[in-house]
Amino acid sequence: MKRTPIQRKTPLQANRGFARTCDVRRNASNQRVTVEFDEDGKVITVYNRKGLTVRRQPVATKAQKQRWANAKARGCVACHLNGIDHGLARASYGNDLEMHHLLSGGRRIGHDATICLCHFHHQAKRLPYADHGYEEQAKALGPSLERESRRFHEFYGTDQQLLAYQEVMLMSLPPQFGPEATW
């Protein structure tokens, strides 16, 4: 037996909320617009939905990708701070390095505002020691950004301080990991 989709002959009517007071239509140039109505059904406002859509981030340029490669050659910012300031162990020695995009108001600032973090300090999904839990490893390696964001920033500094420290690492440290590493 052939199955055909069921089609409504009348559109659904909204009973309450925003959907009752507005309708999304297409204007003459085939753009989506939102039309709002008052209680009597008269049109109040018409506005374009362009501002409501999410814009894609531009693709990273060659210079930005080179900066990322240079940052990965210097290692994780949090691990470096562990060795210098906090007296804790490093979670990574050049493997599983990721770039973390810094945020402002919940949105990415851009591809230039990035810091290099190891997988443990970034997301803590793969733990260095499989037989120990996260809490035990956080005592020895420091907090993770995703699991304990507030404690991470109290421990290592604000996003702007971490970005400034990343720039200092790029300028002053020789590459420690990768093919151009100097041991």
Tell me: the pLDDT tens digits for 63-73?
999 999 999 99
In this prediction, residue 175 carries a pLDDT of: 86
Distance CA 133, CA 136 (A): 6
CA angle 171, 173, 174 (to 5 degrees): 110
Residue 28 per-residue DSSP state: T
Lowest mean pLDDT among 13-27, 57-71, 124-138: 13-27
- The matching CATH number, chosen from 3.40.50.10540, 3.30.40.190, 3.90.1150.200, 1.20.1060.10, for 62-172 is 3.30.40.190
Higher pLDDT, 100 or 90: 100
User: DSSP assignment, residue 52?
Assistant: G
Has residue 104 got a pLDDT over 60? yes
74 is written with which tokens? 């210097």
Average pLDDT of the residues of the chain = 78
- What single DSSP character describes residue 175? P
Q: Would you state the torsion angle of the CA atoms of residues 145, 151, 152, 156, taken in this order, to the nearest 10 degrees?
A: 170
Q: Helix or strand or coil: residue 103?
A: strand
Cα gap 163→96, rounded to integer Å:
20
Q: How far apart, in whole angstroms, are the C-alpha atoms of residue 22 and residue 52?
A: 15
Mean pLDDT of 107-118: 89
Lookup: tokens for 175? 């590459």
**Domain map of the chain by residue range?**
18-52, 62-172
Instruction: Please tell me the predicted confidence (pLDDT) of residue 68.
Output: 93
Determine the pLDDT at residue 12: 56
pLDDT digits (tens, 9 = 90+) for 140-182: 888 999 999 999 999 999 999 999 999 999 999 888 887 666 5
Give 140 or 126, the one with higher predicted confidence.
140
